[in-house]
Amino acid sequence: MQIKIHRGTHRIGGCVTEITTKQARIVIDMGAELPVLGKAVSELELEGVTMGKPDCDGVFITHYHGDHVGMYDKVLPSVPIWMGPTAREIFSVVQRTVAEKCGKHSVRPVDFKTFYAGKPIVLKDTTITPFMIDHSAFDAYMFLIEAEGRRVLHTGDFRMHGARGAKMSAVFEKYARYVDVLIVEGTMMGRRDEKILTEHELGRRAREILRDERAVFVLCSSTNIDTIAEFYAAAIAENRMFIVCEDAFQLEILRVVTKNSRSSFYCFDRQKIYVYGENLHKKMTERGFCFIARTNRVIERALAAFPHNVLIYSMWTGYLDHSKPAFDAFKSKFVEEAVRSGSRLEFLHTSGHADASQIREICQITGAKMIVPVHTEYPEAFCSLGLCGEVRILNDGECLTV
Ligand SMILES: [Zn+2]
Ligand SMILES: [Zn+2]
């Protein structure tokens, strides 16, 4: 069996991993590079996958973040792409909205095949079993790949402090032991000083803020369902209005989650969700509100209408930091202007990624003989974790035979 990390050995995002056996060839994730201000995003071409004669049995997507699925439309039409069922629905909503906004009608439809947690897919001599994992994307998966007497576990992006975090150790214990190669994400290896809140701690703090404040705006990713569910629960508990943007985008995503989820935590009652419009201002003043917002002109006007507001920034602060490669000038400007206009800024965010102790824990549980870091700028930091298995630091495109 051969493992090749085409991208991601020394960077966060743009993930593409290839696993080849005597008979089969699969790819895990087809991610776009994260945009870096002032730098062109590079395209990756793979013979038999994105160009030439089709020669790939399937592309398996761990989750819907762009750095894992953003290049899906480059995959040759006859190569099947697989994704989790709810993730596919959410991603379809995102793609449709992007296409409408850009006026593009040529975006490839999200005609992915779907898999289910714990149900193996057999492609020639290779068996791929997806297991649901805790991440800031909903319906995210890791993959166990078994072929030629080897067991390879690809974690995708994961953490153990989100809504399903408490279950994660047991999932690894039950399904992912005796692993030969663990391909594991290491985003937080470069952010060792960041204190990680659990999603529930975030929810508790959200409730405190909503108890004390009447005008609360929240900037967070529209697809970060765990965080939105915490704000929703906090708003309902404090009898504040729960408001989403005036376009149908956020509402549609919450509808998809509610329809497909069996957990009451992810049940967003349509009767309790208000769609923003200036006609709500009187009620918003009387009852207080939690507005899941985005950085756009409508929100700017809403902020101006409630000048004594709290603006909760529930995203990675690196987007606001000029020195970080992922700096987002638009978000940064939006937040600066809001603060200048009187918003009280509060940072309340939890990471979508495992910290060093969580990485160490899953290396131990899986008993991985070999550990390959990906999705990290600091793969060499794995060597200082005191792991039992051999840490193998690869370069992009290097071939590892196991
Ligand atoms: Zn990622
Ligand atoms: Zn992710």
How far away, in angstroms, is 201 Cα from ligand 1 center?
23
How far is the centre of ligand 2, averaged over its atoms, from the C-alpha of 370 (Å)?
Answer: 23
The CATH number, out of the four listed (3.40.50.720, 1.10.3470.10, 1.10.3720.10, 3.60.15.10), of the domain defined by the range 2-191+352-401: 3.60.15.10
CA–CA dist 184, 281 (Å, integer): 48
**pTM (2 d.p.):** 0.95
The residues whose Cβ lies within 5 A of ligand 1, an ion, are 67, 157
Look at residue 344 and tell me whether its pLDDT is greater than 80. Answer: yes
Contact yes or no for 85/98 (Cβ under 8 A): no
Read off the pLDDT of residues 370-382 as tens digits, 9 standing for 90 and up. Answer: 999 999 999 999 9
| Ligand nearest to the Cα of 67, by number | 1
CATH of domain 199-347: 3.40.50.10710
Residue ranges, comma separated, of all CATH 3.40.50.10710 domains in the chain are 199-347
* Contact by Cβ (8 Å): 81, 113: yes
For residues 72-87, give the mean pLDDT.
96
* Distance between Cα 325 and ligand 1 center (Å): 15
Ligand 2 midpoint to CA 107 (Å):
22
Residue-wise pLDDT tens digits, 216-241: 999 999 999 999 999 999 999 999 99
Mean pLDDT of 232-252: 96
pLDDT at res. 106: 57
What is the model's pLDDT at position 38?
A: 61
Distance in Å, CA 394 to ligand 1 centroid: 18
Give me the pLDDT at residue 109, please: 74
Q: Is 170 exposed, middle or buried (0-12, 13-18, 19+ CB in 10 A)?
A: exposed
Ligand with minimal distance to 14 CA: 1
Range(s) for CATH 3.60.15.10 in the chain? 2-191+352-401
Q: What is the C-alpha separation between 271 and 266, in angstroms, rounded?
A: 15
Q: Which ligand is nearest to the CA of 137?
A: 2
Judge residue 257's burial from the number of C-beta atoms within 10 Å of its C-beta, 0-12 exposed, 13-18 middle, 19 or more buried.
buried
Instruction: Tell whether the model's pLDDT for residue 37 goes beyond 60.
Output: no
Taking the centre of ligand 1 as the mean of its atom positions, its distance from the CA of residue 68, in whole angstroms, is 6
Tokens of 340: 């200048």
